[in-house]
Structure 1
Amino acid sequence: MVINHNMSAMYSNRQLGVTNLGLQKDMEKLSSGMKINRAGDDASGLAVSEKMRSQIRGLNQASQNASNGISFIQTTEGYLQETTDIMQRLRELAVQSSNGIYTDEDRMQIQVEVSQLVAEVDRIASTAQFNGMNMLTGRFAQPTGENSVTASMWLHIGANMDQRMSVYIGTMTATALGVRQLGDESIISLAAPDDANRAIGTIDEALKKINKQRADLGGYQNRLDYAVKGIDIASENMQASESRIRDTDMAKQMVEFTKNQVLSQAGTAMLAQANTQSQNVLSLLR
């Protein structure tokens, strides 16, 4: 029997330290709900998990971007509905004025309404805004030449670079629609039956342009609706994958915690027993 080197106590103490360290990690994983809390827990798992987290956050923001894009398109379509209603009324007046039964004074009264309606088309185009950006003045029109200053509205609908789509919105001013002349600013005239007859064709072309733009907006919105659904599903699947890598299996971890707890109690008891062996030497000296 020796005193200076109690090997049993040293071994018990070392094993107790290992067990207590495992117990601390078990409690950390159980309390945090994650089995990877630092790189030392699983270096490769942490790297993969962090990449997935970047994708998840990017996908969630992309879904929000697409939803905001839908709001933008719906707002634009609402303004175009107003413009369509005005053009329909202008066409109605043109058909009315094409009839020869009206006097010049009658047509003058019709022309007064036409002037107000054309002015309203320009007012809508100049005041139609989303987040402070004019939508119907050509800012997002399809480029038509090398020196064009227009640009599309880019909607970023993915988690990574270049995952975006463009939205084009044509100019919807009275001049662009042909009901106001460029230069002298004169508006379509219904002062004579022949003028009114030609105006019908002009207004039909304007309606064709507006309807084409509204159809494009409908296509954009349908695409974004599908994009939101797809992005949300991708985000859910990515979160499930990240959870399998990083989250704690509570039942399994609780089994490990209970095992280490028992080992810690046993180790403490054995260390106490080992320490009593040195004290037994005193009985030999009595």
Structure 2
Amino acid sequence: MKVNYNVSAMIANNSLQKNDKLLSESLERLSSGLKIANAKDNPSGLAMSRRMNSQIEGLGVANASSNDAISIVQVADGTLSEIHEVLQRMNQLAVQASNGTLTDSDRQTIQAEVTLLKEEIERMANTTQFNGQSILDGSFDLKGYVTDQDGKTNPNIKVSTYSDNMDQGSYLITGLNVSYINLVGTTGVDKKGIFCEEEVLKEIKIYKDGEEYMTNNMLVSIQEDVLTLSDSTGKKLSIQIDEPYAGDLNVELTTTGAMTMQVGANEGQTLDIRINKISLTTLGLYNLDLANEAGAREGIDSIKNAISEISAIRSRLGAYQNRLEHTVSGLDITVENMTAAYSRIMDVDMAEEMTVYSTQQVLSQAGTSMMAQANERPSQVLQLLQ
């Protein structure tokens, strides 16, 4: 028996410290509910879980962004629905004004209502907002710019609209020679428009990168002050011209300007929502005048075209909403699955950990008892000295 060095106590102390450390770690896992409470517990697992958690949080924000996009579409569609109703009323009035039993005085009364309805369309288009941003005034329509043949911009000549399948880049429109009027008609309705000989219209061409564009049955048409070039493939470009002009036009289409919504957690996971500009000019109703029988008959066709235009825009918005609803559903499923995977990495199995805790608790208590016994052993030497 030795007195100077109590090896038994040292062995008991080492075991007690080891068991006490394991007991503390088990308590930490049980109290936090985490399998990986510190980086040392599982370095690679911690790195993976942090990336997954970042993805989950990002998907949550993307889900909210997608729902905001749905709300924007619903606000725009609600206003367009009311504009549809206004156009239906205008169509009824146009049909009524076309009836030969009415006098021009009766038609003036009808035109008074039509004038107010036209003003209401403009008001709704300019005042419909979401989060303080106007959404039907062209703010989120595709942008394009026009310069004359000298390379100068002209506020009276601008891009009205163009189709989605128009390519980005620079275009050259040749052969233009149009006259322009802007006056108050005999019935008191403001009227404006451009005019061009039929033979001149046939000579108008559009080029891109030096090659003729829209080669599939291109059609050039004029509605009020808007010149439209289109072909059988669905390509369409409309230029608003509010002055007499002869010469070429340079057109730059950016194919940008739509509202970009972040619908994913990573860069580039976006959806562009294009909301066409709504105005009397884009609808072809600026010159609508039902104060005489001829104008009323022409108005029926103009209003039907406007109804078709609004219907096309609402169809696009409906497609956006359907897509966004599927996007939200997909995000919900992704978050659910990623959360389950994150939980498997990070969350502790409480039942299993309680088993470990109970074991370590018994070992710690036993180690404490044995430490006390080992510390008593050197005192037994005193019995030999008696």
- Name the TM-score class by shorter chain: over 0.9
Tell me the amino acid that sits aligned with residue 266 of structure 2. Answer: N
CA contact (8 A) 1:139 1:150 kept: no
CA contact (8 A) 2:39 2:46 kept: yes
Residue in 1 that maps onto 2:384 = 284
Q: Which has the higher strand share?
A: 2
Are positions 1:153 and 2:259 aligned together?
yes
Residue in 1 that maps onto 2:43 = 43
- TM-score, scaled relative to structure 2: 0.71
The counterpart of 1:170, out of the listed 269, 276, 289, is 276
CA contact (8 A) 1:100 1:193 kept: yes
Residue in 1 that maps onto 2:116 = 116
Matches within 5 A, 1:76-225: 76-143=76-143, 144=162, 146=252, 151-180=257-286, 187-225=287-325
1:20-41 per-position Cα deviation (integer Å, ceiling 9, x unaligned):
0000000110011001111011
Q: 1:212 Cα shift? A: 0.3
CA distance in 2, matches of 1:244, 1:26: 18
Identity %: 44
CA contact (8 A) 1:156 1:164 kept: yes
CA contact (8 A) 1:138 1:150 kept: no
Bigger mean CA deviation after superposition, 70-79 or 142-151: 142-151
Tell me the amino acid that sits aligned with residue 128 of structure 2. Answer: A
Unmatched tracts of structure 2, length 5 or more: 144-161, 163-250
**Structure 1 SS opposite 2:300:** helix
CA distance in 2, matches of 1:150, 1:239: 36
CA contact (8 A) 2:142 2:254 kept: no
The counterpart of 2:331, out of the listed 231, 245, 266, is 231
Q: 1:146 Cα shift? A: 2.0
**Structure 2 SS opposite 1:140:** coil
Tell me the amino acid that sits aligned with residue 50 of structure 2. Answer: E
The counterpart of 1:266, out of the listed 363, 366, 371, is 366
CA distance in 2, matches of 1:125, 1:214: 14
**Structure 2 SS opposite 1:40:** helix
CA contact (8 A) 1:153 1:167 kept: yes
Tell me the amino acid that sits aligned with residue 168 of structure 1. Answer: R
1:16-74 per-position Cα deviation (integer Å, ceiling 9, x unaligned):
00100000000110011001111011101100100110111011111111111111100
1:97-137 per-position Cα deviation (integer Å, ceiling 9, x unaligned):
11111111101100100110000000001110001111111
CA contact (8 A) 1:9 1:274 kept: yes
The aligned length equals 280
Structure number with the bigger relative contact order (C-alpha 8 A, sep ≥ 6) is: 1
Tell me the amino acid that sits aligned with residue 282 of structure 2. Answer: A
Are positions 1:241 and 2:362 aligned together?
no
CA spacing shift, 1:150–1:127, aligned 2, 3 Å: farther
Q: 1:191 Cα shift? A: 1.7
Q: 1:142 Cα shift? A: 2.8
Unmatched tracts of structure 1, length 5 or more: 181-186
Q: 1:175 Cα shift? A: 2.0
Q: Which has the higher helix share?
A: 1
**Structure 2 SS opposite 1:188:** coil
Residue in 2 that maps onto 1:184 = none
CA distance in 1, matches of 2:272, 2:254: 16
**Structure 1 SS opposite 2:34:** coil
Tell me the amino acid that sits aligned with residue 136 of structure 1. Answer: L
Tell me the amino acid that sits aligned with residue 331 of structure 2. Answer: I
Displaced runs of 4+ in structure 1, greater than 6 A? none
1:173-229 per-position Cα deviation (integer Å, ceiling 9, x unaligned):
12221111xxxxxx4111211111111111111111100000001100000111111
- TM-score, scaled relative to structure 1: 0.95
Are positions 1:10 and 2:110 aligned together?
no
Bigger mean CA deviation after superposition, 74-83 or 142-151: 142-151
CA spacing shift, 1:150–1:136, aligned 2, 3 Å: farther
Tell me the amino acid that sits aligned with residue 353 of structure 2. Answer: Q
